[in-house]
Every structure is written in C-alpha cells, then in structure tokens.
C-alpha cells in the first residue's frame, strides 16, 4: 500500500528526503526505530482477537486469521473477512485487502490483489496457482529454483502434474513434498493462538557456491534474522549455530545473548565462528536455532548508532524541522 501511494505521488527509492517533502508536503518520515510498527502490530492483534482466537501475525502488515467455526458469531467466512476489513478501516483508517482460502499459500497470493477480499473457493486452488512463478512457493529455496529452471520449470503449473518421486530426483525429497503441497494449495496447517509468542525459530542458509569462512557475511545474516524477530516483539536470548564443510563435518557454536546491543552480539558470534572454523575447508551450509523471549532486556537489542552517524542524523532532522515544521519527522523510541 505504501509503495503504491508513493509512486502515485511521484516518489521512488533513493530520492533525497528534502525533494520527497517538496513533492508530497503531507509526507510523514518515520524514524528507523520500529516503535510505530510495534504499536500498529499490537493493535492489529488485539482487533483480530475479536473475530477468532487462532491466527498468526506476519510482518509488514500481514496477518493470517482462522475463521473456521466462527459462522454462528460472524456469519460465512467471506462476510466475516469483510467485517474485519471494514473494522480496521473504521478504527485505524487502514486500507485493508485480503485473500480467503483454506491454503496459507493461496490466501497470501490472493491478498496481493487490491480488490478488498478475494475468495478462492475449494477445488480452484490449482488453476489459481498455476500462472505464478516458482518463487511464490515458500518451500522452494533459491538454489532449488535455479536447478528447476535448468530443466525448463519456471511456473507452479509445471510442477502440479509431477509426482513426489519425480520432483524428488531434482531437489531434496523433503523440499519436494512441501513444494507440491503448496503447489496444490494443500498447506492447511493449524494456526496457533494469537496471544502465544513463538519462543524459538530455526533458519537455514545454503551457500552456493561454498565459501571460505572469511567470505561469509555471517553477522549481516544474523542481524537481519534477529531484527525481524525484534519486529515481531521477540528478543533474542540464546542461539545455536551449526555449519557443515564440504566433507559434511558438523561444527556447533552455542552463544548466550546478554544485555548488549545487537550489532555487538552478532559481531562476537562472527568472530567466534571465524576462530572456531579452523579447518581450511569450504563451508556449504549453516543452520541457526534461536530461543527468544517477549520480555524486553535492559538494553535494546538493536545497534547503537555511531556518534558520527547520529550527529549527521540529528543535523538532518533539525534542518527538516526548520524547513517543514515539527510534523515532518516522527521520532521513535
């Protein structure tokens, strides 16, 4: 929604802030600290609880809601989804659109259409998914999509007639099973309770081609993951990093996260990783298991802005205040 409105106002990525404010005097610039996003996310979860106890809050304004079994309270699922849309519009002024399906993959794709709530009925998942590119299936990693492209497979519709053994000969069998379930709209996993904060996460990074330890941007990868969890209201407490060499030798690193800023933490982990990865063998994949809490630590787990950068930001903020008024910049916490 933000991208669409920005383009309509003549804005684009990389445009200087002062030029953007001249083109759109009503523009509000948010501070990088995600206080506004966290407040909006908490509000969204609270409003959705009035319609169903089961759901999952995603990122960047995305949420999944299980409306099965709520017909006596809110009527048919399509009517209930429309009520949710109107409720969020009237209470928060948000432009809401969504997709309605038993499949998580289908509902996410259907929500991309800006026509309020789009219903994909049972039995129509295959023709709906067929035109999409393979990147629409979350189960397929980039390496697998590249391999399938070499065999001339680019669309979801090309995978739908395939059997699991045939696809399993091209990519990993477990990945083939998950991808075919999504390709047919059969990913109908039960959603958790909205109030429950997921306490652990796992992430996998396949290096293609394999790289030596000093060329792996481990700190940046960990930073991006941990920052995303921070946007979900969770704070990193402990993690376990495992990596494999080309000869499939397993290495493990455990780290307890204390009250430090996040960039310092990921820098320490990267230093330990490069120190403990002594063998001069290329590394082909990494796996991370992280444990989190919803309690904020004494110090925020995101980077402290360096002094030089902070001074530059303050000077820019002061210049914007002088030229466009105090409402031009909204500071975070």
Q: Are 69 and 53 spatial neighbours (Cβ–Cβ below 8 Å)?
A: no
pLDDT at 22 over 70: yes
d(CA 112, CA 158): 22
pLDDT at 103 over 90: yes
**Mean pLDDT over the full length of the chain:** 83
Instruction: Please classify residue 44 by burial: count the beta carbons closer than 10 Å to its beta carbon, then call 0-12 exposed, 13-18 middle and 19+ buried.
Output: buried
Radius of gyration for the chain, computed over Cα atoms and rounded to the nearest angstrom: 23
Per-residue confidence (pLDDT) for residue 302, from 0 to 100? 41
pLDDT at 183 over 90: yes
Per-residue confidence (pLDDT) for residue 301, from 0 to 100? 38
| Entry pTM | 0.62
pLDDT at 289 over 70: yes
Specify which residues 332 forms β-bridges with: none
Residue 35: band (very low, low, confident or very high) from pLDDT cuts 50, 70, 90: low
d(CA 121, CA 125): 7
Give the pLDDT confidence of 206-249 residue by residue, as tens digits.
888 888 888 888 888 888 888 778 767 778 888 999 988 887 77
Cα-Cα-Cα-Cα dihedral of 154, 155, 157, 160, to 10°?
Answer: 60
The Cα-based distances of 83 to 43, 47, 57, 137, 195 in angstroms read 16, 11, 18, 29, 21
pLDDT at 260 over 70: no
Domains, the chain: 1-30+306-333 (no CATH), 34-196 (no CATH), 200-293 (3.30.1490.100)
pLDDT at 1 over 70: no
Q: Give the pLDDT mean for 257-272.
A: 80
Give the pLDDT confidence of 53-77 residue by residue, as tens digits.
999 887 767 899 999 888 988 999 9
Give the pLDDT confidence of 114-155 residue by residue, as tens digits.
768 899 999 999 999 999 999 999 889 888 999 999 999 999
What DSSP designation does 149 have? H
């Amino acid at each position: 929604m933000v991208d669409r409105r920005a383009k309509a106002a003549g804005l684009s990525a990389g445009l200087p802030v002062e030029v953007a404010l001249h083109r759109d005097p009503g523009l509000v610039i948010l501070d990088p600290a995600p206080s506004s996003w966290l407040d909006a996310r908490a509000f969204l979860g609270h409003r959705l609880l009035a319609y169903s106890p089961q759901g999952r809050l995603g990122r960047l304004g995305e949420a999944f809601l299980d409306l099965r079994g709520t017909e006596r309270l809110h009527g048919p699922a399509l009517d209930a989804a429309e009520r949710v849309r109107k409720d969020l519009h009237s209470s928060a002024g948000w432009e809401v659109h969504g997709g309605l399906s038993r499949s998580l993959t289908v509902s996410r794709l259907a929500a991309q259409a800006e026509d309020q709530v789009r219903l994909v009925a049972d039995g129509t998942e295959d023709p709906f998914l067929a035109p999409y590119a393979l990147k629409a299936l979350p189960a397929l990693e980039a390496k697998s999509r590249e391999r399938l492209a070499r065999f001339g497979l680019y669309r979801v519709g090309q995978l739908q007639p395939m059997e699991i053994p045939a696809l399993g000969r091209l990519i990993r069998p477990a990945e083939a099973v998950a991808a075919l379930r999504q390709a047919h709209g059969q990913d109908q996993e039960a959603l958790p309770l909205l109030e429950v904060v997921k306490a652990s996460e796992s992430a996998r990074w396949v290096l293609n081609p394999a790289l030596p330890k000093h060329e792996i941007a481990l700190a940046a990868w960990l930073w991006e993951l941990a920052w995303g969890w921070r946007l979900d209201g969770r704070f990193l407490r402990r993690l376990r990093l495992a990596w494999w060499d080309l000869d499939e030798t397993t290495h493990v690193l455990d780290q307890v996260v204390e009250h430090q800023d996040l960039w310092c933490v990921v820098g320490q982990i990267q230093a330990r990783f490069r120190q403990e990865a002594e063998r001069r063998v290329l590394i082909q994949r990494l796996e991370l298991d992280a444990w989190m809490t919803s309690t904020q630590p004494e110090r925020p787990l995101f980077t402290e802005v360096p002094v030089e950068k902070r001074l530059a930001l303050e000077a820019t903020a002061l210049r914007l205040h002088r030229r466009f008024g105090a409402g031009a910049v909204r500071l975070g916490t």
